[in-house]
Chain A
Amino acid sequence: MNDVLDVALRLIVVFVVFLTFPLIVGQTEHKVMAHMQGRLGPMYAGGFHGWAQLVADGVKFAQKEDVVPAAADRRVFQLAPAVALLPYLLVLVAIPIGPGEGAVGQVVDAGIFFVLAVMGVGVLGSLMAGWASANKFSLLGGLRTAAQLLAYELPMLLAAASVAMAAGTVSLPGILNAFEWWWLPWQIVGALVFFVAGLAELQRPPFDMPVADSEIIFGAYTEYTGLRFALFLLAEYAGIVVLCGLTTVLFLGGWHGPFGADGLGWLWTLLKTAILAFLVIWLRVSYPRLREDQLQKLAWTVLVPLALAQIALTGIVKVAIN
């Protein structure tokens, strides 16, 4: 009975985090982006500085008609948003936010494998949407998504593998337990590669070629309306939370504080995740979209060699220590 309660409680907490954090990131994006452009952003919804803007957006999306195009592959079309969103919920279960067994939804022994594999499934939602919409823009978006996934999954995996090598384990809590402060400079290149590749996988600007609205309308999501469209948007923000959380855990030491100040535990994780989320927004505001060929060039000629170099460095240092 106690086990059931424990599992239920953990799932509820993870679910609440899954529902609220992406909205917080979204709201922050509204305001930060606005101020970076010299604007105020939402000011009315909720009364105080538009804090309820995303709630209002959600209500609006819920009111809209759920249209399925006549020529669309109905089942696949309707299933795609769920496929895009749910993997991030599953990943969230495995991310440890504090020390000990209590601060993670479920300890997965092959944590990195689980997390990266499930995150890859999320992109499948965009592919399904792109194909099932029976729309040339959606198809183009889907193809671009596929190309981007192929290009960026590799450096992301390599960078994560470097950390696994350094820690000698693929379990996320295990990596955190093995973490030392000097991993930060040691793995910095891997961290950059992982973060950039993760951004590209989320199709966040400046890597938003698959949804480039000025040329292919909204890519794979062109035909979506109402709640299903909102789910795709939510998936993007959930993806930001997951990516920032993962980068924190793998490269920034998760619940470890600077100078041995580990006492705050899960607060450190949240703080680092928040800073990374801000960085994601900041990058979006600052940089223009990469062209498709630039996108591929960055992945194959920069990120993959860098990730390989990082693995080599990790191996050398590891051997030298032993």
Chain B
Amino acid sequence: MAPIPGSGLAKGLAVTLRTMTKKTVTAQYPDVQPELPPRTRGVIGLFEENCTVCMLCARECPDWCIYIDSHKETVPAATPGGRERSRNVLDRFAIDFSLCMYCGICIEVCPFDALFWSPEFEYAETDIHELTHERDKLREWMWTVPAPPALDEGAEEPKELAAARKAAEKLAAEQAAAAQESAAAPEPGEEDQA
């Protein structure tokens, strides 16, 4: 059936009127802070206690915007007659956010969980040099890193948890077997009767 002439005009009016009664989508930042999704890429925090100065992040960074300085220290042997160990000590860890393209490769690549995404985004500066965040500032961002979002229902168990649980279960089973054995050992006859 052909549409009634002018129905398109009425439809147009209806659309605008309906939109008027709906809630607006205007974000009232900075009066109202935006609701950011989990895993928002705002700024990178450094948990420097975990950093071993392996330099993987600096090497993988496509922009080469991570600067790391370190020196080696020797740690005296833990046991008498043991070997002295050498340890990397972090002197400088800086990320230049004027170069960073927020790809997150450094965070992905870090084998020791020393880098994290933080949702904070209000760190604009008037001087571009101040966008290079040194290690103390990067350490401060760590306080703003949210807890990792909960896993989806029915999701596979995280590998480390699975491994830990398996080990614990194995241990418990061994202990139970040992206890049973020690309990059963004095009177083996009873068990047979039962």
Contacts and interface: CB of A to CB of B under 8 A. Distances in A.
Interface of A: 32, 34-40, 43, 282-283, 285-287
A225 to B, nearest CB: 30
A286 B28 contact: no
Nearest to B9: A287
A43 B16 contact: no
Nearest to B13: A286
Contact of B24 (A32, A40, A282, A287): A40
Interface string B96-132: 0000000000000000000000000000000000000
B155 interface: no
B13 A40 contact: no
A286 B15 CA distance: 8
Given A38-B25, A286-B12, 4 more contacts: A36-B17, A37-B19, A282-B17, A283-B13
A31 B20 CA distance: 10
8 contacts: A32-B20, A35-B20, A38-B26, A39-B25, A40-B24, A40-B26, A40-B28, A283-B13
Interface of B: 9, 12-13, 15-17, 19-20, 22, 24-26, 28
A36 B19 contact: yes
Contacts of B9: 287
Contacts of A37: 16, 19
A132 B194 CA distance: 116
B24 A39 contact: yes
B74 to A, nearest CB: 63
A282 B26 contact: no
A175 B93 CA distance: 85
Contacts of B28: 40, 43
| Chain A interface helix/strand/loop/mixed | helix
Nearest to B31: A43
Nearest to A43: B28
Contacts of A39: 24-26
B16 A282 contact: yes
Contacts of A38: 19, 22, 24-26
Contact of B12 (A34, A43, A287): A287
A32 B25 CA distance: 15
A34 B26 CA distance: 10
A67 to B, nearest CB: 34
Nearest to A34: B24
Contacts of B17: 36, 282
A43 B28 CA distance: 9
A43 B24 CA distance: 13
B24 A36 contact: no
A283 B22 CA distance: 19
Contacts of B22: 38
Which 8 pairs show the lowest CB-CB distances between chains A and B?
A40-B26, A36-B16, A286-B12, A35-B20, A36-B20, A286-B16, A38-B25, A285-B16
Nearest to A281: B16
A285 B24 CA distance: 16
B13 A282 contact: yes
A44 to B, nearest CB: 9
Contacts of B15: 286
Nearest to B14: A286
Contacts of A283: 13
Contacts of A35: 19-20, 24
Nearest to B21: A35
Nearest to B22: A38
A36 B28 CA distance: 18
